[in-house]
Homo-oligomer: A and B are copies of this chain.
Amino acid sequence: MESIVRADGRAVDELRPVTITRHFTDAPEGSVLITCGNTRVMCTATFTPGVPRWRQDSGLGWVTAEYAMLPRATAERTDRESVKGKVGGRTHEISRLIGRCLRGVVDMRALGENQVQMDCDVLQADGGTRTASVTGAYVALVDAMRWAEAHGHIESADKVLKDVVSAVSVGVIDGTPMLDLPYPEDSRAMTDMNVAMTGSGTFIEIQGTAEHRPFNRAELNTLLDLAEKGNRELQAAQRAALAEG
């Protein structure tokens, strides 16, 4: 497998370069810029005491996420959803995925009746924006929890965060399973899978889709192996970023 060289020179099981910048902006309780190759996503975590009405008096917290692309994050300009007056299906789908991934590592009882709203805004898109959002959002979430602990809103950030979560895309390109697809690969993929994994190596989300050619159990297993490798490396980057400051 290693003899295949990708357009950008990577091996099939190699991540694109990742950088995670914390405190990217000043106002949010957590603010992270994550870059995965040319993909750049700004993830801001807003901590608010209190929960939505349907969750009140439950003793439990809540975490939601909203994803969006700036109009010219892409090669062709995309019309603003605010101007169109409605949120599109893709945006909804990705926002919900990010929310589920974050909730999968949060102890809602330890969070108490507090809410975190995560905003993931894509400044530049080159494939893997939803998985970069999950990976960056986790770091912003940690910062928001540390802030909440420091400000006495929660007892302990560590208790709220049951585990780490990161996500990466994998796919089959021309019959070859590959890790971390940039846009040119993603658009040619026969099968495309996004895998969100915890620090303990278990899965929170697996979304595999094969509009172009179905995949079998063997391919699935290879893709999951690649995703595990990628997620372990992304979690190292998360840890490194969180160790600073």
Residues of A within 8 A of B (CB): 25-28, 31, 38, 40, 42, 44, 46, 48, 66, 68, 70-75, 77, 80-93, 95-96, 100, 103-104, 117, 119, 121, 123-124, 163, 193, 198, 200-212, 214-217, 220, 224
Q: Which of B119, B124, B217 interacts with A26 by CB under 8 Å?
A: B124
CB pair B75 A27 closer than 8 Å: yes
Copies in the complex: 6
Max chain B CB contacts within 10 Å: which of A31, A44, A68, A72? A72
B198 pairs with A203, CB closer than 8 A: no
Please, which residue of chain B has its CB at the minimum distance from the CB of A80?
A: B66
Name the one of B28, B75, B200, B204 contacting A72, with C-beta atoms under 8 angstroms: B28
CA distance A90 to B90 in the complex (A): 11
Of the A-B pairs whose beta carbons lie under 8 Å apart in the complex, a sample of 27, sorted by A's number, is A25-B40, A31-B72, A42-B70, A42-B123, A46-B71, A48-B77, A72-B119, A80-B82, A82-B82, A85-B86, A88-B92, A89-B92, A89-B93, A90-B96, A100-B211, A103-B211, A104-B212, A163-B214, A198-B214, A202-B210, A202-B214, A203-B210, A203-B216, A203-B220, A207-B207, A207-B208, A217-B224
